[in-house]
A and B are shown apart, each in its own frame.
Chain A
Amino acid sequence: MEGVRLTIALIIAVVLQWTLRNIAEPFAYIDFPLIIVVFAALQRNAIRAIIFGTLAGVAVDALSGGLLGANGFTKTLIAFLVSEIARRVYLDNLLLRIPVIAGACLFDDLVYYGLHRLFGQPPLGDVLVTMAYSLIGTTIAGTFIYFMLQNFAADRVRPKKRDIFASRRLTRRRNPIRLNK
């Protein structure tokens, strides 16, 4: 069920990325697919996150003036790295996830820019300014989206009866064989 929800969230994120720049230019600085890919990676399911990263990246690249596969490459790499970090470090708190999305955004921009330089297709605009705006936009939007996903979309596990009531102290059964000793 969680996989279905994340897939729907990813599709919505890609559609938002395709369309929101038509409404207002500043929306371009928010990387919606990256936010969802990092969230998927934080669920410690590396394979799902990596596949999400590739699909979302290629979908964004298809309508972009940049190289096809550049976003796919960076998001796949980020999905792997974040899921590996999430396996080793406790990152289930929203506050701890803010630096993760910020770091992922910076890394994504750096690798994306580097790949385009490598293939002789330098992007437009001032690199540092674009990265700074992108970092601010994606981190703020990511924090809100993670808050919403955690509170409204996460699987709510119904507490078991034994967790609700205080556990009765059980006396230890003595081993009748050992009683002789």
Chain B
Amino acid sequence: MIALLLVNFILMAFDAREITSGQRVVRAWTQTAADFVQSPVTSITASISNYFTSISNLRSAQDENGQLKQRVQEQEVELKQKEELASENQRLRSLLDLKEQSKYKVLTARIIGRDPSVWFDSSIVNRGSLDGVALNMPVVTDGGLVGRVTAVSPLTAQIDLVTRDKSGVGAVIGQIGESNALGVVSGTSKKDLLEMKYVPGAVDVQVGQTVFTTGQDGIFPAGLKIGEIVSVATGSATTPHQIQIRPAARLNSMQEVGILLYEPPQRTEFEQKLPNAVKPK
């Protein structure tokens, strides 16, 4: 028994050391093995639950149908206006000789497993290193930022959500360049709330404002939507605001996510020499 306890303790110590950077080898290979069981079971259970959900949805379908027809007519008018704006935008861009370039590709991934432990909230997706996924790649949905990749196996990857206590994302309130309300967004003890720290108390912050990534953390690219401010405890000239944010992405009901195949810009030689910098392997 003592030998087994020791083995587990060593595993924990090893995992705690490797949790911030580097490949978590044991975890990656166990996930690969588990994928052979988890993927088919998840597919079966998802199809069964979808079947029952679709039956229950039929009941409210008739009422929704009338409302949707009305909305379609409204949106057709909006669409025509937007098409005109898009064509105008296109003309202006061609005038300025700007080329539209996508900064990074998005790899669609299906969530095949949620954290089996109640204490954490990570997810497993069906894309791995064979698909080009690497550590620390940002994960998004159409709503906004979800988290980042924390372990990669050949067939699967593990995602830690932004709500995890240890995560920290460089963020700005409002659009970059227009606002100087910079801070760091991290998880709280509540699963559906984020906290924004270090925003100077002198800056005006309102409930309902949107928070975006700045790209200064070296993991997430700039301009990703993180969430919306739900409460502000106003600071002073010397103390920062205490801001709580509701994540834009629906973290509890995600089925599919997008992994951004994004590599952050290389740090300068000076930054790499800093004592707390992560040394390249």
Give chain A's interface residues, CB within 8 Å of chain B. 15, 17-19, 21-23, 25, 28-29, 46, 50-51, 53-54, 57-73, 76-77, 80, 112-113, 115-116, 119-126, 130, 133-134
Known contacts A15-B41, A121-B166, A125-B189; A63 and B113 CB within 8 A of each other? yes
Most A CB atoms within 10 A — which of B24, B46, B120? B120
| Structural contact, A66 and B120, CB atoms closer than 8 A | yes
What separation, in Å, do the CA atoms of A28 and B113 have in the docked complex?
12
Closest residue of chain B to A62 (Cβ to Cβ) is B30
Residues of A within 8 A of B187 (CB): 124
| Structural contact, A124 and B16, CB atoms closer than 8 A | no
B165 located at the interface, meaning its Cβ lies under 8 Å from any Cβ of chain A in the complex: yes
| Structural contact, A130 and B5, CB atoms closer than 8 A | no
Residues of B within 8 A of A50 (CB): 1, 4
| Structural contact, A19 and B38, CB atoms closer than 8 A | yes
A85 → B minimal CB distance (Å): 15
Known contacts A17-B116, A29-B118, A64-B115; A124 and B13 CB within 8 A of each other? no
| Structural contact, B1 and A76, CB atoms closer than 8 A | yes
A133 → B minimal CB distance (Å): 8
In the A-B complex, list the 3 residue pairs whose CB atoms are closest, starting with the nearest: A69-B11, A65-B122, A62-B30
B189 → A minimal CB distance (Å): 6
| Structural contact, B38 and A25, CB atoms closer than 8 A | no
| Structural contact, B4 and A76, CB atoms closer than 8 A | yes
Q: Which candidate, B63-71, B100-108, B156-164, B232-240, is the interface stretch facing chain A?
A: B156-164
Closest residue of chain A to B42 (Cβ to Cβ) is A22
What separation, in Å, do the CA atoms of A15 and B116 have in the docked complex?
10
Within 8 A of A (CB), among B1-37: 1, 4-5, 7-16, 19, 24, 26-27, 30-31, 34, 37
B197 located at the interface, meaning its Cβ lies under 8 Å from any Cβ of chain A in the complex: no
B94 located at the interface, meaning its Cβ lies under 8 Å from any Cβ of chain A in the complex: no
Known contacts A62-B27, A124-B164; A113 and B119 CB within 8 A of each other? yes
Q: Could you list 22 examples of A-B contacts with CB < 8 Å? A: A18-B34, A21-B115, A28-B116, A50-B4, A51-B4, A59-B34, A61-B11, A62-B26, A63-B30, A63-B38, A63-B116, A65-B117, A65-B158, A65-B160, A67-B19, A69-B7, A69-B8, A73-B12, A112-B117, A121-B166, A123-B119, A124-B165
Residues of A within 8 A of B34 (CB): 18, 59, 62-63
Most A CB atoms within 10 A — which of B13, B118, B160? B118
- Contact partner, B118, options A19, A59, A80, A134, Cβ 8 Å: A134
Known contacts A15-B37, A50-B4; A28 and B163 CB within 8 A of each other? no
| Structural contact, A77 and B5, CB atoms closer than 8 A | yes
Closest residue of chain A to B163 (Cβ to Cβ) is A124
Known contacts A54-B8, A112-B119; A122 and B37 CB within 8 A of each other? no
| Structural contact, B12 and A69, CB atoms closer than 8 A | yes
- Contact partner, A119, options B12, B38, B190, Cβ 8 Å: B12
Residues of B within 8 A of A23 (CB): 45, 49
What separation, in Å, do the CA atoms of A115 and B117 have in the docked complex?
14
Known contacts A18-B38, A125-B190; A119 and B117 CB within 8 A of each other? no
What separation, in Å, do the CA atoms of A77 and B4 have in the docked complex?
9
| Structural contact, B117 and A59, CB atoms closer than 8 A | no
Besides A64-B116, A66-B120, 12 new A-B residue pairs in contact (Cβ under 8 A), listed by A number: A22-B114, A54-B4, A62-B26, A63-B30, A63-B124, A64-B117, A65-B158, A67-B15, A69-B9, A72-B11, A124-B165, A133-B118
Closest residue of chain B to A32 (Cβ to Cβ) is B116
| Structural contact, B120 and A22, CB atoms closer than 8 A | no
- Contact partner, B115, options A57, A63, A115, A121, Cβ 8 Å: A63
Residues of A within 8 A of B117 (CB): 28, 60-61, 64-66, 71, 112
Known contacts A63-B34, A115-B12; A121 and B124 CB within 8 A of each other? no
B62 located at the interface, meaning its Cβ lies under 8 Å from any Cβ of chain A in the complex: no
Known contacts A65-B158, A73-B8; A125 and B41 CB within 8 A of each other? no
Most B CB atoms within 10 A — which of A15, A66, A119, A120? A66
